[in-house]
Amino acid sequence: MNLPVSICLLLIAGGFVARAQDDTVNVPDLIQGAQQWAQENLDTNVLNSLPSVDDPQVQQFLRELEKRYQGNYVVDLAGLRDTARTAIAVLESSDETQPYAAWLKAQLDYLDVADQIRITIRPPGAETNQPPQPVRNPSPETEREIWIKRVVDRPWPAPAKKLVPELKPVFTAQKVPPELVWVAEVESSFDRRALSPAGAAGLFQLMPDTAKRFGLSLWPRDQRYQPEPSATASAQYLKYLYDHFQDWRLALAAYNAGEGTVQRLLNRYKTHRYDDIARHLPAETQMYVPKCEATLRKREGMGLADLRPPPD
């Protein structure tokens, strides 16, 4: 069972004091040592405990959403569309769970598009005495067309008017196309409070391990919630993924699903093309990549293939 952070730090500091009884160590050194130890050794869930969701129906919904996100079929998300709106109302009713609500609002597009796909794509014909077959995932081309239509009339999220000009230079400084700042619209609708049940946080929805991997501190102040540090880490991660995959669609798929997931599919299907693995990615990722591209077209008038690194 995890102890509260404050108790853990008292115990850690006490340990430093005990070890330092015979040495000359000042209090700031002790505190800094305790903080560094906590950052490097405590379980991330201790340092960044998630808000508690008391409503059992909302808890069940969040678990089911995560399960279907990791599943294979996009249309399976459609059945959660109406429940998601009820869950948002519950989550917004408490200050403690509002970060969940901010995250879930950014997910509604996926559920709406899944419902659109359910309606427009006919299920395969069932053979006699055979169980019904799942609706096939749409082709990558179809998904791209759906998402372009979905965002065509969408105004800028209000926080983007301030944050986009501030954060584009951060991406440029990391030698990443500054247009990719719009990943934050897809991830969080530019709501820096957003927190997913899996533990991803901030504008760019960085997981704890990824944040630490790219130099962010999670304690005593979680830098994932700070726009410039989180943008720096996101840009660094995107550059790393692009350098590995040499393709922005694959890089974004890996940003969402994990580089291991993407690489395994590329190996399995003996390809280097996103479109060859798109239908086999997790359901969330199948929609995440074309939504990123459609958002980029809407905001910057370019596709992922048009992106160029900033000049030296």
pTM for the model:
0.83
Q: How confident is the model at residue 7, as a pLDDT? A: 41
Predicted confidence (pLDDT) per residue in 110-143, tens digit: 999 999 999 887 666 555 566 666 668 999 999 9
Predicted confidence (pLDDT) per residue in 205-214, tens digit: 999 999 999 9
Predicted confidence (pLDDT) per residue in 254-303, tens digit: 999 999 999 999 999 999 999 999 999 999 999 999 999 999 999 999 99
Q: How confident is the model at residue 53, as a pLDDT? A: 77
Residue 21 pLDDT > 70, yes or no?
no
Residue 151 pLDDT > 90, yes or no?
yes
Residue 26 pLDDT > 70, yes or no?
no
Q: How confident is the model at residue 51, as a pLDDT? A: 57
Rounded average pLDDT over 212-226: 96
Q: How confident is the model at residue 134, as a pLDDT? A: 64
Position of tokens 């990824």? 210
Contact 110, 294 (CB under 8 A): no
Residues 6+ apart with CB under 8 A from 19: none
Specify burial of residue 119 (Cβ count, 10 A radius: 0-12, 13-18, 19+): exposed
- The angle at the Cα of 49, spanning 47 to 52, to the nearest 5 degrees, equals 170
Q: How confident is the model at residue 250, as a pLDDT? A: 98
Mean pLDDT computed over every residue of the chain: 86
d(CA 268, CA 211): 29
Residue 185 pLDDT > 60, yes or no?
yes
d(CA 38, CA 160): 34
- Residue ranges and CATH numbers for the domains of the chain are 5-43 (no CATH), 53-121+135-312 (1.10.530.10)
